């Protein structure tokens, strides 16, 4: 399978997008490229990854998103994954900007209330960060939980979308110091 790789600048670091001629196949931050390559191998096996400017409008839609159009990320996607993963990823796309759900609520939303851990694993295997907004899933206590691009980026994305953190709803310390780097 031949796919095309492009890098896009963003306020929170360089983003790598992988496309074919019609769809977005992967999106991750440059400093997490190893994770993206691992997911590509998992989903597609051997991939011939060629450097080329993406041709399906992802760059323009990401620019619009970062400029404040929070609904600009309706890009065509095509990913491999299990039926369960695809169900979770489809549910993630229904979480509105400025809101967040817990893993438990997401599990209930897909009709599998006992599958909280499996929902978390599927969320973590999402190859299309930002577009499939896994950053909108938080802990049941309102805390930030893992994110493939790092907790500081997760906090930045949630704030960018207008999510209001309540007192103690996300971890302080290192996350806030890292977040400050993006806001300079």
Coil, strand, or helix at residue 13?
Answer: coil
- Residue 114, classified by CB atoms within 10 Å of its CB into exposed (0-12), middle (13-18) or buried (19+), is exposed
Spatial distance between the Cα atoms of 78 and 27, rounded to a whole number of angstroms: 12
- Which of 26, 130, 134, 179 is an active site residue? 134
Q: What is the token pair recorded at 65? A: 């998103």
Task: Give yes or no: 106 in active site.
Answer: no
For residues 54 and 6, the answer to whether their CB atoms sit within 8 Å is: yes
Query: For residue 164, what is the DSSP state?
Result: -
- Residues marked active site are found at 134
């Amino acid at each position: 399978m031949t796919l095309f790789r492009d890098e896009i600048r963003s306020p929170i670091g360089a983003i790598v997008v992988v496309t074919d001629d019609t769809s977005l196949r992967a999106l991750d931050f440059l400093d997490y490229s190893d994770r993206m390559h691992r997911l590509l191998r998992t989903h597609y096996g051997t991939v011939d990854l060629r450097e080329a400017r993406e041709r399906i409008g992802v760059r323009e839609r990401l620019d619009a998103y970062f400029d404040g159009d929070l609904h600009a990320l309706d890009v065509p996607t095509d990913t491999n994954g299990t039926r369960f993963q695809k169900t979770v990823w489809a549910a993630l796309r229904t979480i509105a900007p400025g809101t967040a759900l817990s893993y438990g609520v997401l599990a209930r939303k897909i009709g599998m209330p006992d599958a909280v851990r499996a929902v978390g694993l599927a969320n973590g295997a999402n190859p299309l960060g930002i577009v499939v907004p896994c950053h909108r899933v938080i802990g049941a206590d309102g805390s930030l939980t893992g994110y493939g691009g790092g907790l500081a980026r997760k906090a930045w994305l949630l704030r960018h979308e207008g999510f209001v953190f309540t007192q103690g709803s996300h971890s302080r310390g290192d996350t806030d110091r890292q977040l400050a780097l993006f806001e300079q």
